[in-house]
Amino acid sequence: MKCQQCEKPAVFHITELESGDVREVHLCEDHARAYLNQAEPVEEGGGPAAAGGGQLAVGQTADDLALLDKKACPMCGITFFEFRNQGRLGCAHDYVHFEKELEPLIANIHGSTQHRGRRPARDTGAEPPLPEATDELTVVIGLRRSMQEAIACEDYEKAREDRDAIRGIEDRWLRDRGVPSPPRRPDGANDET
C-alpha cells in the first residue's frame, strides 16, 4: 500500500475515531511523523501524543520510538526497527524480549493474547525434529549465534564447544523420538564448521 501523500510505501496505518466516524490514514514514515506532530496536542512532557495504530502509543514521542527501534534481541540480533519494517520476528525469543511492545499489537490483531484452538503437529520433516517447547529452540538459536561469532573472531575452541552443545541437544531430540543419532567422526572432519 502506498502513502496517501507520496509514492513511498505506507508503513503507518492510523485509524482515527472522529465523532463516531472512522477514518483511516496510510502514510510513509516521514508523512506520518509530520501528521502526528501536527494532529496531536503537545503533552506536558514536551512531546506529541501520538495514536499510531500500534506504531506509536499514546504519549510516546518520536524520541521514545527511536530508542525502542534500537532495542535488539540478544539471541538473533533483530532490532525492533527491523521487525516494524519486515513484519516478522527473528526467533522465538523475540516474543519474550519484545513482550511489552508486542502484546498490544497481538491483542489488536487477534483479539486475545492467549492461543485458543488446535496446535499444529510438530512433525515438519525438519532434521533434527523440533521439540514442543520453545525454550530449547531459543537455546539452540543462541548457541548457533555464539558459534558464528566465535568463528568470526577465530576462537575455534569456543566454536567447537558451541557446536558440541548443539549436537548434544539435537541428539537428545532424536533419542526422545526413538531415532538413532547420525554417526559422527571424533575429529569433526565431517562437520560443516
Rounded to an integer, what distance in angstroms lies between the CA atom of residue 56 and that of residue 172? 44
Rounded to an integer, what distance in angstroms lies between the CA atom of residue 144 and that of residue 106? 28
Average pLDDT over residues 53-80: 71
Average pLDDT over residues 8-14: 84
b/e map 151-162, b = 16+ CB within 10 Å: eeeeeeeebeeb
81-114 pLDDT tens trace: 888 888 888 887 788 888 888 888 888 888 887 8
| Helical (H) or strand (E) element with 47 | none
Look-up of cell digits 531459543: 138
Q: Amino acid identity of 18?
A: E
Is 158 a residue whose pLDDT tops 90? yes
Tell me which of 41-50, 120-129, 150-159 is least confident.
Answer: 41-50
Alpha helix positions (H), 15-111? 29-39, 62-70, 80-86, 94-97, 99-110
pLDDT band at 147 (very low <50, low <70, confident <90, very high): very high
Instruction: Assess contact for 149 and 103: CB atoms under 8 A.
Output: no
Rounded to an integer, what distance in angstroms lies between the CA atom of residue 124 and that of residue 79? 28
Considering the chain, what is the average pLDDT of its residues? 75
pLDDT band at 18 (very low <50, low <70, confident <90, very high): low
Rounded to an integer, what distance in angstroms lies between the CA atom of residue 68 and that of residue 83? 11
Beta bridge partners of 26: 13
Is 53 a residue whose pLDDT tops 50? no
Residue boundaries of the structural domains of the chain: 1-70
Region for 54 from its dihedrals, namely left if φ exceeds 0, alpha if ψ lies in -120 to 50, beta otherwise: left
